[in-house]
Chain A
Amino acid sequence: MLLLQLLINGLQLGAIYALTAVGFALIFGSTRIFHVAHGAAFTLAAYLFWWSFTKLHWHWLAALVLAAAVVIAFGVAMERWIYRPIQRHEGAFFTVFIAAFGMQIVVQNAVGTVFGRGFETVTVALSRAVPVATGLYVAPVAAVAIGTAIVCFIALAWFLTRTHIGTALRALSDNPDLVRVFGLDPARLAQVAFALGSALVVPGAALTAATQGINPNIGAHIMLISLAATIVGGIGSLTGAACGGLLLGLAESLALWKLDAQWSEGVTFVILFVFIIFRPAGFLGRPLGAK
């Protein structure tokens, strides 16, 4: 029964990781910008949801809309005011990384200053597990997490395959010059990628506030997982990132079946190292050297 319990916990966690990882992968895949501040967007979304829902007593949907509006603005502003000027001056990949990393720290400290540095949580009945069999407890939020991830991925797939902007975004990741030839503006498309990718952290952030609780440093951890999931899934593949996130969530939880709890996060990075060594392109990425 412990195995089944850990499997359900892993699916719930994996759904949250998948949502965040796909957001990061969308931004990185489309723009090649290593947006480490994606974790900061997660922190912002989690705190805004908690603040508006718990402190201002807004409806959960209104709280989600506020969080989404702010993190979309944050993502677009990062692209417009931080990354684009760096890239315009031929800033190296490392410069972009440092800028993003710096923003992550700024947001972390700003959130701590504004909302406090302690632990906060959204208390909802959905996060309370109920016994469904002897020794097996399932919280309704598990179904919400998995359902939300599925809905978001279907909507994203539809957007990327059935709309002009979505098609252009996919083209941007393949060949930005070709996008320009067709009269499209890569800068505008990059902003769409940032807006969409940032919006994808919102459900995961809200679910994390309800299931785990939050503190200003929560974004750093989620960023690491997103990065690992993107590499494991295959850089450039959104499906791969989603599967990578799910795999890492499952691995983190299932590790407890046979290993001590301090290994649960270590397993994530063991999987990452295995992929880096034996399959650096990830399980759905393009083989290295492929055009």
Chain B
Amino acid sequence: MQIWKCAAAIAACALGAAAAQAQDLRIGANLPMSGPNAEYGELFSNAAKLAIEHINADKLLSKKLDLVIEDSQAQPQQGVVAMNKLVNVEKVPFVLSAFTAVSKAVAPVGDKAHVVTVNGGAIGPDLAELGDYFWNVIPLVNLEVQAMAPYLVKERGFKKIALVYVDDPAGEAIRKELETHLPKNGGALVAAIQVPRASQQFSGVAAKVREASPDLVYIASFGAQQAQIAKQLRDNGVAQQLASYSAYSAPTAAQLPESKGALYTTQVINWSGDPLSQRVAKDWQAKTGKEPSAYIANYYNAVLIFAKLAQALEKSGQPITGENLLKQRKAMSSFDVVGGKLTFLPNGTVSVPLQVNETDGGAGKPVKTNIVVAP
């Protein structure tokens, strides 16, 4: 009899927990939590968790919001496996994504299942063409290069530029954009050196860069590799100005001593501009002891946009599905988020003002701000 009572109690607890879990609203995150780009996964997921903490504390939704994280390892194949799990097993209506190659691989899975996939970190221009269910809350790299090229050539006088780029869709996209926009502004791409994603040795690349005698070296990589490139360029006699794109705002690259003075583009985020931005900046600093970057705003915003859409759906009595989230986004279009107002373009991308930053050992300081580029 005692055994039956215990079993009944355990079953009741288990059912209770399952019921509570079933009542929670869950969204997914398909981010690199291991491997050489795990630094990004940690950063992005912590930003999403902070948003969830705020949303739950403010009771924006009728149910508690939870985040289910799967590890993409920043690899397309692993990303698809993770996406399938989030879509088919976890049954989430909304997934956070990152990295161009991974995002391109997982988008068809989300599109087929009518699950919204939101990118806050990848920058390949192809990401604008992945269908209705793929949204970007980060400006894509074509805009970043278009903002950077005239600044480097016309305002700073760096006319001869060498590019060291990773052989993935993001690196290729940056090469194409520089090839197009440098000549338009009176500059030239004097060398374009492609490196494998897994490569960690760049002393020979430095020799090739020196041979090209550029005014500036543009690094188009991400994760640990971009920091390794910067360090090894400097160690091997490349003293020229360094430049990059938003991936360079990752602390390991931006705060590397060898990176000091490097220029990189990001969207404009005024952390002291409105109460929401102030709250996020304050809480982020309290949790991590670090200044927030644009990535923090992007992944926070992605989750906040979900909450605002879900809130609207709850008010109108509609279920929170990918299809309804898409309809609601098209109906709302603009959102008050961290950094100000964010407006989606019809293709699911955003157009926001950009800025050029200079690394200073900390969060970087803007050297040219409010650059508006037409998408």
Contacts and interface: CB of A to CB of B under 8 A. Distances in A.
Interface of A: 2, 5-6, 9, 12-13, 108-109, 112, 116-121, 123, 127-131, 135, 137, 139, 211-213, 215-218, 221, 252-253, 256, 260-262, 264-265
Contact of B207 (A2, A120, A130): A2
Given A261-B204, A261-B208, A264-B201, A119 B228 contact: yes
A12 B235 CA distance: 14
Contacts of B234: 128
B199 A5 contact: no
Contacts of A116: 39
A217 B196 CA distance: 15
A135 B203 contact: no
Interface of B: 34-36, 38-39, 42, 167, 193-196, 198-205, 207-208, 210-211, 223-224, 227-228, 231-232, 234-237, 250-253, 256-258
A137 B236 contact: yes
B38 A112 contact: yes
A125 to B, nearest CB: 10
B193 A261 contact: yes
Contact of B237 (A13, A108, A131): A131
A128 B235 CA distance: 4
Nearest to A252: B201
A2 B237 CA distance: 13
B235 A129 contact: yes
A262 B171 CA distance: 13
A112 B34 contact: yes
B231 A121 contact: yes
B237 A137 contact: yes
Contact of B196 (A211, A213, A262): A262
A253 B195 CA distance: 13
A267 B259 CA distance: 30
Given A117-B39, A119-B256, A261-B208, A212 B236 contact: no
Contacts of B253: 119
Contacts of B193: 260-261
B207 A5 contact: yes
B224 A213 contact: yes
A223 to B, nearest CB: 13
B235 A211 contact: yes
Contact of A6 (B207, B223, B227): B207
B204 A256 contact: yes
Nearest to A224: B198
Contacts of B198: 221, 265
A192 to B, nearest CB: 31
B196 A265 contact: yes
A9 B237 contact: no
B203 A13 contact: yes
B207 A9 contact: yes
B195 A262 contact: yes
6 contacts: A5-B204, A6-B204, A118-B224, A119-B228, A256-B205, A262-B199
B252 A119 contact: yes
Contacts of B195: 261-262
A212 B229 CA distance: 9
B293 to A, nearest CB: 13
A262 B207 contact: no
A25 to B, nearest CB: 22
Contacts of B235: 127-129, 139, 211
A213 B227 contact: yes
Nearest to A253: B204
B74 to A, nearest CB: 11
B196 A9 contact: no
A129 B236 CA distance: 5
Contact of B36 (A127, A128, A215, A253): A215
